[in-house]
Amino acid sequence: MAFTAFRDTKPFSQLIFSAFVILVCFLAFTVLSLLIAWPLFGIDSVMNISSLGNFENPESIAILKYFQTVQAIGLFIIPPVILGYLFHGKIKEYLHLNKAVNNSSLLLVVVLMLFAGPFINFIGEINNNMSFPDWMSGIEKWMKESEENAAIITKAFLDVKTIPGLTFNIFMIAFLPAIGEELLFRGVVQRIFTNMTKNYHWGIWISAILFSTLHMQFYGFVPRVLLGAMFGYMLVWSGSMWLPIVGHFLNNALAVIGMYMINNELISPDFEEIGSTSDSYYMAAISLGLVLLFMLMLKRQNAGNQIELESPVLSKFE
């Protein structure tokens, strides 16, 4: 017998209930990850919090990667599945996983993500150089410290020398977030805010802002918002979650592979700064132009596949 109690709830009630489900799943998987970690790594290693901050210790990195992986599943992947069932009944349909995309659209997304790097780097450099007035110096200091800590952890995670290490990083940093974050933010949050505002643009940009805020990396906030919005439009215009998942995966995977190649001296470190240096701004302009062109092509290619608003007043995305 289907459980239908939540299917006619208003968008605001769905938002509050979604937050509750996400919190419960996160706490449950945190406890579960601890119970599994004890026999895997030993109680002393897991409970010694101070030692986990030693990024020179391979065991500390392994434990942190383990928690990152398990909690990503509990925080991003499980909640959308539960909410899809409770709010709609048909999980794949609710999360827009039931619609395949054509090969030409997939190719467009691949090419788009390959050429988006310089523009994203350019916006990231502007964001990174932002400053606050003196009266906000305390907030600015906290934000910079948070950013530095996140950068240290990210660098430690990405510092691998072997193909198995690279493969796991792609799984942890690209594959899981591409599925989980898209299902949660584009599949659930964007849908709720779209229904709440009766406007796809508002739904896309609000969910993109929340998507970036959750990462708690303020000096990469703006480029992450733009990426989130781009993934949101991919979903709306194609009607399929698979395009933003592929785009998200490529964005993260290219960064992971790039750092692997830099760490192993296969390419120059300057490669990841293309578009952000004063002598390569023209590449950022070209990158932006190509991104807009490819997004327009994607929209036209999928004309007729757009997601319809769940409202009798506004039925098409325009």
What digits encode the pLDDT tens for the residues 184-209? 999 999 999 999 999 999 999 999 99
DSSP 96: T
Q: Which amino acid is at 108?
A: L
| Tens of pLDDT, residues 3-51 | 777 888 899 999 999 999 999 999 999 999 988 888 888 877 777 765 6
| Number of other residues whose CB lies within 10 A of the CB of residue 249 | 20
DSSP string of the chain, one letter each residue: ----TTTT--HHHHHHHHHHHHHHHHHHHHHHHHHHHHHHH-HHHHH-HHHHT-TT-HHHHHHHHHHHHHHHIIIIIHHHHHHHHHHTS-HHHHTT-S----HHHHHHHHHHHHHHHHHHHHHHHHHHT----GGGHHHHHHHHHHHHHHHHHHHHHH---SHHHHHHHIIIIIIHHHHHHIIIIIIIIHHHHHHHHT-HHHHHHHHHHHHHHHTT-GGGHHHHHHHHHHHHHHHHHHS-THHHHHHHHHHHHHHHHHHHHHHTTSS-GGGGGTTTSTTSHHHHHHHHHHHHHHHHHHHHHTTT-PPPPSSSS--S--
Averaged pLDDT, 269-281: 77
Give the Cα separation of 286 and 119 in Å (integer).
Answer: 8
| 99, 239 Cβ separation under 8 angstroms | yes
Token digits of residue 200: 């796809």
What angle, 0 to 180 degrees and rounded to 10, lies between the N-to-C axes of helices 103-128 and 221-238? 160
Token digits of residue 114: 């390959």
Supply angle C-alpha 25, 29, 32, rounded to 5: 145
Question: Picking from 1-10, 116-125, 296-305, which range would have the lowest pLDDT averaged per residue?
Answer: 1-10
What angle, 0 to 180 degrees and rounded to 10, lies between the N-to-C axes of helices 281-301 and 221-238? 20
Closest CA to 22 of 78, 95, 93: 78
pLDDT of 252 reads 95
Give the Cα separation of 189 and 290 in Å (integer).
Answer: 28
pLDDT of 53 reads 66
| Tens of pLDDT, residues 205-261 | 999 999 998 877 777 889 999 999 999 999 999 999 999 999 999 999 999 999 999
pLDDT of 314 reads 40
CB-facing half-sphere around the CA of 133: CA atoms within 13 A? 1
Q: Which amino acid is at 127?
A: N
Measured in residues, the chain has a length of 318
Question: With 60 as the cut, is the pLDDT of residue 318 above it?
Answer: no
Q: How far apart are the first and last CA of the chain?
A: 39
* Domain ranges across the chain: 1-94, 99-318
Tokens 């004890």 belong to residue: 38
| 317, 237 Cβ separation under 8 angstroms | yes
Q: Which amino acid is at 35?
A: L
Residue 103 pLDDT grade (very low, low, confident, very high; cuts 50, 70, 90): very high
| 64, 72 Cβ separation under 8 angstroms | no
pTM: 0.91
Using CB atoms within 10 A of its CB, is residue 154 exposed (0-12), middle (13-18) or buried (19+)? Answer: middle
